């Protein structure tokens, strides 16, 4: 088949639709008070109905529902008449006939899902046809075409993911009991979330918890990426599936650094100098062979839009069931819908990352830069929540906000408290929605650009 015939493939075919189901849903909405409560959270757009007459009727019902008014033959008739659509849909006679097509709203949720499926099919056909037409148009920039393609599913997903979800309180109480039972019976070293890579932090948090947005903030060069890479390696060793959005480093750089963290090799050996002795290759091959089983998924596209990050996270979760998502780092992401105001843009990015954490029920760990205010302060250099760069919304959206503070970075002596912990770095929990505010000691080995748990450093437990 020639390419020029592709755009005519669907001509003569009836678009996907279910008129009888549309009638059943509208009938249930007319006769049963429970119908609108169950349906309106699912049916967000009048276009979900295929038949134009049904779109007008549902639009009237939607306006009544949003205004807090009852939905019946009389109120819908009045609303349609006011809009000049009553005669168009067949008058009151049609509304009476429609009301007689259902006995109750018992199956309305199931019927709504059928309508949504048919609507999605129609939307995909419409979008595909539009893309085909654009692809044949030489005046359309190819990058605009790619952008249109990448956003094809966004409007569909927004409607599918914004339906109301009722939470039954008795069921949630049972879940509380089950969680307390699990916590009571777990062993001392067990964690309830995804491992952080550090024993003391795991003991403090129970691991990173599902649906939490965790912000790790620090000044440039403090070791933010090194810290999460230690976390990522630990997840790989424990068999967790990990998604990584790297807006700063290439996938090759990230991979080399994970090898350095999971071995005794210096980063310069892996990225710049190579080995002095060929015998080191045996150790390298052993390390690499072990790490090939890691379920790490990396996207190193520079300056990704938040919509693309959301789409990528959903794709990873659907295909690979990722347990945790890392974003390095927030200030390098964009939101084209808010591009005229940088503070609103960052606020939208952090808010959407929190939504992704809740939607996929996974922890999202996002790195953030701190402002220069830290350096400008005399004496005390420990970061504060007010130092988070460009947006206070990050603090509001986050469940946990942590700061990295290395005294040696500023040429200061390490405190006795840290030295006694066999550490030289503070990981400061400045906000913890479900816990206390504490500081944990870590050790940063600068020549290997890696963080270690003080216990790990004592044991020298390397591959």
Q: In sequence order, which residues have a C-beta less than 8 Å from that of residue 34 and are 6 or more positions away?
A: 105
Q: Does 308 share its domain with 432?
A: yes
Instruction: Indicate which residue of 23, 133, 171, 248 is catalytic.
Output: 248
Same domain, 436 and 294: yes
Q: What is the DSSP string of 139-181?
A: TS-HHHHHHHHHTTTHHHHHHHH-S-----HHHHHHHHHHHHH
**Same domain for 146 and 212?**
no
Q: What is the pLDDT along the chain (463 residues), one digit of tens a residue?
A: 333 344 444 556 788 999 999 999 999 999 888 888 778 878 888 999 999 999 999 999 989 888 778 899 999 999 999 999 999 999 999 999 998 888 777 788 889 999 999 998 888 888 888 888 888 888 877 767 766 655 555 556 655 554 445 556 677 677 777 877 877 777 767 788 898 888 889 888 989 999 999 999 988 888 889 899 999 999 999 999 999 999 888 888 888 888 888 887 777 777 777 777 777 888 888 888 888 888 989 888 887 888 888 888 888 888 889 999 999 888 888 887 776 777 888 888 888 899 899 988 999 999 988 888 777 777 778 888 888 866 677 888 889 999 999 888 888 888 888 888 888 888 999 999 988 899 888 988 877 778 888 766 655 544 3
254 shares a domain with 155: no
141 and 199 co-located in one domain: no
Nearest residue to 424 via CA among 439, 447, 405, 438: 405
* Same domain for 296 and 156: no
Whichever domain contains 386, its CATH number is: 3.40.50.300
Q: Which domain holds residue 76?
A: 10-161
Q: Is 395 a catalytic residue?
A: no
196 and 141 share a domain? Answer: no
10 Å CB burial of residue 60 (0-12, 13-18, 19+) is buried
- Establish if 287 belongs to a structural domain: yes
pTM over 0.75? The answer is: no
**Same domain, yes or no: 257 and 121:** no
Q: State phi, psi for 314 to the nearest 5 degrees.
A: -65, -40
Do 246 and 367 lie in a common domain? yes
* 15 and 152 co-located in one domain: yes
Q: Answer yes or no: is 86 within a domain.
A: yes
What is the Cα–Cα distance from 251 to 270, expressed in whole angstroms? 14
């Amino acid at each position: 088949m020639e390419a020029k015939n592709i755009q005519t493939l669907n001509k003569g075919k009836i678009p996907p639709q279910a008129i009888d189901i549309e009638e059943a849903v509208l009938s249930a909405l007319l006769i049963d008070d429970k119908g609108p409560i169950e349906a309106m959270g699912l049916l967000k757009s009048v276009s979900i109905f295929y038949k134009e007459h049904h779109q007008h009727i549902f639009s009237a019902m939607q306006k009544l529902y949003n205004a807090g008014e009852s939905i019946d033959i009389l109120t819908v008739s009045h609303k349609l008449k006011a809009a000049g659509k009553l005669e168009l849909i067949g008058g009151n006679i049609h509304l009476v006939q429609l009301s007689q097509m259902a006995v109750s709203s018992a199956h309305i949720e199931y019927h709504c899902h059928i309508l949504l499926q048919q609507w999605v099919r129609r939307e995909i056909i419409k979008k595909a046809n539009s893309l085909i037409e654009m692809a044949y148009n030489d005046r359309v920039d190819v990058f605009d075409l790619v952008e249109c393609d990448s956003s094809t599913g966004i409007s569909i997903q927004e409607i599918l993911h914004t339906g109301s979800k009722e939470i039954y309180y008795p069921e949630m109480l049972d879940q509380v009991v089950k969680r307390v039972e699990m916590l009571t019976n777990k062993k001392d070293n067990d964690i309830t979330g995804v491992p952080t890579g550090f024993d003391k932090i795991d003991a403090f948090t129970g691991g990173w918890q599902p649906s939490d947005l965790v912000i790790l903030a620090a000044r440039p060069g403090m070791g933010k990426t090194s810290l999460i890479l230690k976390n990522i390696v630990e997840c790989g060793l424990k068999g967790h599936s990990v998604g990584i959005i790297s807006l700063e480093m290439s996938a090759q750089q990230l991979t080399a650094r994970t090898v350095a963290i999971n071995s005794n090799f210096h980063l310069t050996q892996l990225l710049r100098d190579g080995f002095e002795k060929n015998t080191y290759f045996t150790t390298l091959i052993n390390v690499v062979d072990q790490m090939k089983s890691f379920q790490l998924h990396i996207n190193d596209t520079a300056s990704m839009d938040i919509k693309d990050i959301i789409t990528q996270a959903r794709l990873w979760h659907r295909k690979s069931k990722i347990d945790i998502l890392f974003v390095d780092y927030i200030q390098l992401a964009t939101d084209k819908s808010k591009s005229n105001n940088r503070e609103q843009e960052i606020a939208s990015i952090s808010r959407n990352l929190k939504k992704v954490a809740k939607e996929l029920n996974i922890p999202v760990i996002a790195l953030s830069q701190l402002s220069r205010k830290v350096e400008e302060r005399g004496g005390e250099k420990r970061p504060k929540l007010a130092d988070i760069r460009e947006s206070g919304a990050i603090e509001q959206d986050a469940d946990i906000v942590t700061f990295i503070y290395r005294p040696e970075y500023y040429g200061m002596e390490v405190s006795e408290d840290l030295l006694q912990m066999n550490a030289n770095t503070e990981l400061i929990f400045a906000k913890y929605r479900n816990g206390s505010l504490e500081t944990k000691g870590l050790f940063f080995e600068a020549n290997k650009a890696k963080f270690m748990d003080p216990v790990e450093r004592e044991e020298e437990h390397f591959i």
